[in-house]
Amino acid sequence: MYGRKDLLGLRDLSSDEIMTILNTAKEMKEKIDNPSLRTNDLSKSSIVTLFYENSTRTKMSFMLAGEYQGAIVKDLGVSTSSVSKGESLIDTGITLDQMGTNIMIIRHQLTGAAHILAKNVKASVINAGDGSNEHPTQALLDLYTIMERKGGFNGLKVVILGDISHSRVARSNAFGLTKLGAQVTLAGPSTLVSSSMQSLGVKVSTDIAGAIHDADVVMGLRIQFERQKNMPFPNLREYSSLFGVNDEILKYAKKDVLVMHPGPVNRGVELSTEVIDGKHSVINIQVKNGVAVRMAILKLLSERSKREV
Ligand code: CP
* Three-class HEC string of 238-271: HHHHHHCECHHHHCCCCCCCEEECCCCCCECCCE
Per-residue confidence (pLDDT) for residue 308, from 0 to 100: 65
pLDDT, tens digit (0-9, with 9 covering 90-100), for 282-292: 999 999 999 99
CATH-assigned architecture of domain 136-286: 3-Layer(aba) Sandwich (3.40)
Terminal Cα distance for the chain, rounded: 18
Per-residue confidence (pLDDT) for residue 166, from 0 to 100: 84
CA–CA distances in Å: residue 306 to residues 102, 280, 290, 298, 300: 10, 42, 24, 12, 10
**For ligand 1, is residue 232 a contact (CB within 6 Å)?**
no
Closest residue by Cα to atom 3, ligand 1, is: 58
pTM: 0.96
Q: How far is the CA of 308 from the centre of ligand 1 (A)?
A: 32
Check for a shared fold between 15-133+287-308 and 136-286.
Answer: yes
Per-residue confidence (pLDDT) for residue 239, from 0 to 100: 83
| For ligand 1, mutation pick of 54, 57, 130, 282 (most atoms within 8 Å of CB) | 57
Spatial CA neighbour of 54 closest among 116, 128, 142: 128
Per-residue confidence (pLDDT) for residue 234, from 0 to 100: 66
CATH-assigned architecture of domain 15-133+287-308: 3-Layer(aba) Sandwich (3.40)
- d(CA 81, CA 85) in angstroms, rounded, equals 8
- d(CA 15, CA 92) in angstroms, rounded, equals 33
Closest residue by Cα to atom 6, ligand 1, is: 55
Show me where the domains of the chain are located: 15-133+287-308, 136-286
Give the other-Cβ count within 10 Å of 99's Cβ: 10
**For ligand 1, is residue 226 a contact (CB within 6 Å)?**
no
Cβ(182)–Cβ(15) under 8 Å?
A: no
Cβ(32)–Cβ(90) under 8 Å?
A: no
- Stretches in the chain below the pLDDT threshold 50: none
Spatial CA neighbour of 287 closest among 88, 62, 125, 131: 62
pLDDT, tens digit (0-9, with 9 covering 90-100), for 83-95: 999 999 999 999 9
Per-residue confidence (pLDDT) for residue 236, from 0 to 100: 79
